[in-house]
Amino acid sequence: MQLRENRADQKRTEERRRGRSERRLVTESVSVLLSLIQHTQATIIMMLQHPGLGPSEISASALVPCLSPPGSLTLDDFTNFTPLVKEELRLAIQNKRLSNGMSPVMKDCPSSSSERPVEQPVVKRELTLEEYERRKRRRERNKIAAAKCRNKKKEKTDCLQKESEKLESINAELKAQIEELKSQKQQLVYMLNLHRPTCIVRAQNGQTPEDERNLFIQQIKESTLQDLMVSPIGSSHTSTSSSCGHH
């Protein structure tokens, strides 16, 4: 993929270089043509003004305008030799292109009066091997950094998800404990309501919980003494019966 991009960049650079050379050649051709037009116009003017002059004399007079005798041309005379000038221009341009190894066919170019300064496009210079390797290493570092960032973000998200699940479980357990405590509270309130009439009667009789405890302890002691008193009598009666049966 990178080699394909490099080849495409090289191809575009070569096309831009070729375009610049063509524009430079066109500019040079236009300047040559302008000088040729001026020379041809001067020659034709001299031929029209002095029919008896030879070619060498006409060329010298055209090169030095002050040597040509005064005269004037009409618009009709100028339109008569315009096709000849155009043909000479075309031949000169073709010869120039052939000498530079280019195709002789050229698209029509604008006249000198409508010429505008050609803006040179910004040319992207070719990358050296060192710059290419540097960019490649930078891209690799960017990829590694992006992967690390994604991994950290994923780990943080997983940690937060686990923490959320843990807190939800604790919340559910606490809610269950709250419901259990509410149930126990209701049972205790019910038992208290059942025991309340007895507590009211005892309070009216002047008995306190401490008095009730002492009374309960006293009852236990009395029942214990009664058991102790009954058990010796039962044991003596049993021994007497056994002795009588033996005789």
What confidence score (pLDDT) does residue 21 get?
Answer: 77
Q: How sure is the predictor about 93, in pLDDT bands with cuts at 50, 70 and 90?
A: confident
User: What is the domain partition of the chain in residue ranges?
Assistant: 11-115, 132-228
Burial 52-84 (b: 16+ CB within 10 A, else e): ebeeeebeebbeeeeebeeeeeeeeeeeebeee
Beta strands, E only, the chain = none
Query: What is the average pLDDT score of the chain?
Result: 71
What confidence score (pLDDT) does residue 140 get?
Answer: 94
| Tally of CB atoms within 10 A around 10 | 12
Q: What is the mean pLDDT of residues 222-245?
A: 61
Q: How sure is the predictor about 110, in pLDDT bands with cuts at 50, 70 and 90?
A: very low
Residue 52 DSSP label: T
pLDDT at 82 over 80: no
What confidence score (pLDDT) does residue 201 get?
Answer: 55
pLDDT at 45 over 80: no
pTM: 0.28
What confidence score (pLDDT) does residue 121 get?
Answer: 53
Least confident of 90-104, 112-126, 155-169, 189-203: 112-126
Whole-angstrom Cα distance, residue 129 to residue 119? 30
